[in-house]
Amino acid sequence: MSGAKITYLIFAIVSQLGLVSYVKAQEPTLLVKYAKSTNIDPLYKKNTEYFYELINLALAKSGTPYTLKTTRIPAGIEQDRSIKLMNEAYYDVHWYTTNASRERKLLPIRIPLFKGLIGLRLMFIHPDKQNMFSDLSEIQQLKSYVGGQGRSWPDTTLLRSQGFHIETAGGADGLLRMLNAKRIDYFPRSVLEIWHEKSVIKDLSLAIDQHIALRYPSAIYFFVRKDNQNLHDVIELGLTNAIKDGSFNQLFNQSYGEILAKSKLTERTIFEIPNLNMTPDTPLDKPELWYSIKSSK
């Protein structure tokens, strides 16, 4: 009998006796480059940290061994430039407000990270005009005022398409200064952004309107490159698992629960408009992914 056959017989015997243990080859660690701003503008710090905690949570809940490496990008970079950098593989994943154009350029993970509240807008106004919207009952009245938006923000196209008078600037800082100078009447910000922004702005005279809100379907997703289906699936699985086990809601409520209570949404007049920039693949049929306002004024 050859040596090879003898070795095989011994292996078979000790296997039957339970004397051999099999060690599964270690699964390769997934390296994920995540875009994170350097010298984060205080306006964006809270949300930036929330998204960073959320991508860590998603990867951890995916069950895939991973290493998350932050790739630094300039603070205040416009989203169109950021998308270009992702497609050039400077990083693998980042968050963006979705629209049809961005979903053509990148691969979205269609789970709204803010539960759709990026599309629920309260208004920065000048303190001299705190009763400006107190008697508004029709959306057409709001359209007669001048609003402000960022040049490359999807909301700009949306609001203009609905007949709103919108002036633009490069980013939030410029728009807030325009409002302070009364060059615009109001600056809509997500209910999850506006209170933090108000708390960190010390050099401008600003107020938050207490009477109305504007709502339209909108979502911030994590995006990856079109050729990175594996990472897409890993993040999607992790976010889905986090929603199922409650850890997504726990992180969301820790970050924004107090803000939502302070906003008194059920006491406001809420104007609804459609958003034609949302694609047919938007998961509007999954109520567990979206924040629900129980009633409105």
State the CATH number of the domain containing residue 151.
Answer: 3.40.190.10
Q: Work out the pLDDT band at 71, boundaries 50, 70, 90.
A: very high
Residue 251: inside a domain: yes
Q: Work out the pLDDT band at 251, boundaries 50, 70, 90.
A: very high
pLDDT at 22 (0 to 100) = 37
Identify the three-state secondary structure at position 272: strand
Nearest-5° Cα angle at 276, 83 to 285: 95
123 and 211, same structural domain? yes
Residue ranges making up the domain that contains 142: 119-215
Residue 61: inside a domain: yes
Q: Based on the structure, what is the number of domains in the chain?
A: 2
Residue 90, pLDDT above cutoff 70? yes
pLDDT at 16 (0 to 100) = 43
Mean pLDDT of 270-275: 95
Global pTM?
A: 0.81
Residue 296, pLDDT above cutoff 70? no
64 and 50, same structural domain? yes
pLDDT at 214 (0 to 100) = 97
- pLDDT, one tens digit per residue, over 124-137 is 999 999 999 999 99
Q: Work out the pLDDT band at 118, boundaries 50, 70, 90.
A: very high
Residue 112, pLDDT above cutoff 50? yes
107 and 72, same structural domain? yes
176 and 131, same structural domain? yes
Residue 108, pLDDT above cutoff 60? yes
239 and 211, same structural domain? no
Residue 191, pLDDT above cutoff 70? yes
Residue 46, pLDDT above cutoff 70? yes
239 and 157, same structural domain? no
97 and 41, same structural domain? yes
Residue 172, pLDDT above cutoff 90? no
Residue 134: inside a domain: yes
Residue 281, pLDDT above cutoff 60? yes
- pLDDT, one tens digit per residue, over 2-35 is 554 544 444 344 334 343 333 334 567 999 999 9
222 and 171, same structural domain? no
Residue 59, pLDDT above cutoff 90? yes
User: Where is the domain boundary, 215, 245, 275?
Assistant: 215
Residue 10 vs residue 251, higher pLDDT:
251
Please report the DSSP string for 9-58 in residue order: HHHHHHHHTT---PPPPPPPPEEEEEEEESS--HHHHHHHHHHHHHHHHH
Residue 87: inside a domain: yes
Tally of CB atoms within 10 A around 158 = 23
Q: Look up residue 262 and give its two tokens.
A: 């302070």
pLDDT at 1 (0 to 100) = 52
* Range list of H helices, the chain: 3-16, 42-61, 79-87, 100-105, 139-143, 154-161, 172-180, 194-200, 229-245, 247-263
Residue 43 vs residue 51, higher pLDDT:
51
- Residue position matching structure tokens 């922004």: 197
Residue 96: inside a domain: yes
Residue 188, pLDDT above cutoff 70? yes
Residue 200: inside a domain: yes
Residue 24: inside a domain: no
231 and 210, same structural domain? no
85 and 229, same structural domain? yes
Q: Work out the pLDDT band at 276, boundaries 50, 70, 90.
A: confident
Residue 273: inside a domain: no
251 and 110, same structural domain? yes
Q: How many helices (H) and strands (E) does the chain have?
A: 10, 12
Residue 157, pLDDT above cutoff 60? yes
Q: Look up residue 223 and give its two tokens.
A: 């995006």
Nearest-5° Cα angle at 277, 273 to 281: 110
111 and 175, same structural domain? no
- pLDDT, one tens digit per residue, over 206-243 is 999 999 999 999 999 999 999 999 999 999 999 999 99
